[in-house]
Amino acid sequence: MAEVNKTSNIVVVPEIRKRGRAVTDIRFKISENPQLAILDLDDGEGVRKSDVYSRLQALGVSDRLARQWIAHHGEDHVGEKITYVAGQGGVQNPVGYLAAALRDDFTTEPTATKPTSARAKLLERVRDLVAARTPTQRDADRRLFISMIDSADARADFERHGWMSALNTAAIKAFWQDLQPDAFDDI
């Protein structure tokens, strides 16, 4: 119920009948969720006829999410991120990667004028690899990696900094190379 109330355009409220301590009946009242009106965007057919919408549908993005992303980020921005995701090799979950690209504004343009170090490029690639995984896969990857760390200091550093852990850079690279052998070929 909490998930439905948090993420949908309806609110579910249970009504419980008890006899003594035992629950005898449960009835759910359903009403409109006024706080999530953005989910009920009705754009007519304008957005659905756009090229960006078609590209999102081809990736497997739902109708509602496609319309929400276009309304929130703008058609041009979403189109740029779709192109960015398409240019990345070996993406296993393009919808999840696209969601991360929109959320974190992934870009191919350099963000600073100074040259990027090899370690920074490596960590950026790791960030992209992690973002391309599903939440369940990310959790499993993290637990598996932690189980492989022998040093208490290295484990503490990973728990503090995650995949950006400086003490574990070499081990992180080896771990991701095992999962995707060609992930670091260009670095």
pLDDT tens digit sequence for 84-97: 888 887 778 888 88
Residues 6+ apart with CB under 8 A from 10: 4, 30, 31, 32, 33
Is residue 186, in this structure, part of any structural domain at all?
Answer: no
pLDDT at 111 over 50: no
For residue 157, the model assigns a pLDDT of 84
Task: Answer yes or no: do 135 and 90 share one domain.
Answer: no
Is residue 184, in this structure, part of any structural domain at all?
Answer: no
Task: Answer yes or no: do 20 and 58 share one domain.
Answer: no
Distance of alpha carbon 149 from alpha carbon 161, whole angstroms: 14
Task: Answer yes or no: do 95 and 143 share one domain.
Answer: no
* 3-state DSSP assignment of residue 12: strand
Task: Answer yes or no: do 32 and 59 share one domain.
Answer: no
Residue 151 phi, psi dihedral angles, 5° rounding:
-80, 135
pTM of the complete model: 0.40
Residue 80 phi, psi dihedral angles, 5° rounding:
-65, -40
Distance of alpha carbon 132 from alpha carbon 93, whole angstroms: 6
Q: Which residue has the tokens 């192109």?
A: 83
Distance of alpha carbon 160 from alpha carbon 175, whole angstroms: 18
Task: Answer yes or no: do 33 and 54 share one domain.
Answer: no
Task: Answer yes or no: do 18 and 48 share one domain.
Answer: no
The domain of 95 spans 44-104
Q: Specify the higher pLDDT residue, 104 or 140.
A: 140
Is residue 112, in this structure, part of any structural domain at all?
Answer: no
Express each pLDDT in 167-186 by its tens digit: 888 899 999 999 888 888 88
For residue 36, the model assigns a pLDDT of 59
Task: Answer yes or no: do 122 and 175 share one domain.
Answer: yes
Domain count, the chain: 3
Mean pLDDT of 35-47: 56
Express each pLDDT in 145-163 by its tens digit: 999 999 888 888 888 888 8
Is residue 131, in this structure, part of any structural domain at all?
Answer: yes
Task: Answer yes or no: do 123 and 138 share one domain.
Answer: yes
Residue positions counted in the chain: 187
Q: Are 28 and 13 in contact (CB under 8 A)?
A: yes
What mean pLDDT, rounded, does the chain reach? 83
